[in-house]
Chains A and B, each alone.
Chain A
Amino acid sequence: MSAKDCEKIIDQAIEKHGADAATQAHARTCPKCAATLALLALLKTSGSPVSDLKPSAAFLGRIESSLATSASEAAATGALKSKLLAAAIGVALTATVAWTVVSQSKKSDVAKTQTQTSQGEMRADPDVRAGENDAAFPQLQLPSATDELK
């Protein structure tokens, strides 16, 4: 096996959480791979080389207080958003109601104006004379005062 194949075996050993049967069989015949697999096993038991740096209590405290601030900021932003949304809905509702009321009153005004106009028109109509259409309506025949005497 070439050095490239040995590299592949290292990759496989890392990615598959350990060497498979074929890799182990090769490692028995290749001292370099055997040493590498043993090294990887040792590294895994020793822990990560970066784990010697641990966050101090002060660092974690600063992070936690910043997280609390950003969480409260997010909550405040959320509350503000919901308030704005509620206000927008309120304004829209008020506007709709106001528009409806105004348009209804306008309609009734128009209707009233039309009625008044038509009455006015009738009054103003010079062709219409009082008692002109009297014959068209049934007339109540009241007895005259002289009928009783008869």
Chain B
Amino acid sequence: MTSNNENLDSNELIELARNGQKQAFTMLVKRHYGTVMYYLMGFGVKKPDAEDIAQEAFINAFRKIDQFRTSGSFVGWLLRIARNQHIDKLRKEKKFDTTGSELDLLNLPDDRTPEVQVVSDAAVEDLYSGLKPQEKVLLDLRVFQQMSFAEIAEALGSTEGNARLVFHRLIVRLRSKFRS
């Protein structure tokens, strides 16, 4: 069953998950785990906490999967759930600051956890090493999930212009790295 699910696209997996097939949803978890984890770590959340939030986000997504419209982006929907889960956690811990709700992708702090820094630094030859978690998510959403800048901005809680600008700066940076 699992090997069959590996060949299915996201919409087919979502349809199977809607019919209660848990293996199909597990496949979706495997596919989008990295995006959700890097997204949460981009907020400065440490890996174990990010895993807890990601777990809750995936479980919530399974419970609400009937509410997801297949015309939209599944990973974008998933990231919104993860962000809400993260905000809920911060509210419970009374750490949520409502003054700056919009994420500024241009001024992201290098808040990589030591574990992520170790992974990044170990792969010096890797083109992706040195990228901030949110930059990795942005690259994933744009190049691999082929989401529009409007969808990315909605998923990341930013503006379309901000997402576009950061993506093109990122491409320029990667290009110069690639050339060298």
Listed in ascending order, the chain A residues whose CB lies under 8 Å from chain B are: 7, 10, 14-15, 17, 32, 35-36, 38-40, 42-44, 46-55, 59-60, 62-64, 66-68, 70-71
Listed in ascending order, the chain B residues whose CB lies under 8 Å from chain A are: 20, 22, 25-26, 29-30, 33-35, 37-38, 51, 55, 58-59, 62-63, 119, 127-128, 131, 135-137, 139-140, 142-144, 146, 168, 171, 174-175, 178-179
CA separation between A20 and B30, bound complex, in Å?
33
B13 to chain A, nearest CB (A): 14
Q: List 18 A-B contacts (CB under 8 A).
A: A10-B168, A14-B142, A14-B143, A38-B178, A39-B174, A40-B143, A42-B127, A43-B127, A46-B127, A47-B144, A49-B140, A50-B136, A52-B34, A52-B119, A52-B128, A59-B33, A63-B29, A71-B20
Given the known interface contacts A10-B168, A39-B175, the answer about A49 and B22 at a Cβ–Cβ threshold of 8 Å is no
CA separation between A54 and B30, bound complex, in Å?
7
Chain B residues with Cβ below 8 Å from A39 are: 171, 174-175, 178
Q: Is the CB of B146 within 8 A of A60?
A: no
Chain B residues with Cβ below 8 Å from A43 are: 127, 139, 143, 174
Question: Chain A contact residues: over half helix, strand or loop, or mixed?
Answer: helix
Please tell me which one of the listed residues A7, A38, A46, A64 contacts residue B26 in the complex, with CB atoms under 8 A apart.
A64
CA separation between A49 and B42, bound complex, in Å?
14
Please tell me which one of the listed residues A17, A42, A54, A67 contacts residue B34 in the complex, with CB atoms under 8 A apart.
A54
Q: Is the CB of B137 within 8 A of A62?
A: no
Please tell me which one of the listed residues A46, A49, A71 contacts residue B136 in the complex, with CB atoms under 8 A apart.
A49
Q: Is the CB of B55 within 8 A of A62?
A: yes
Closest to B135 in A: A49
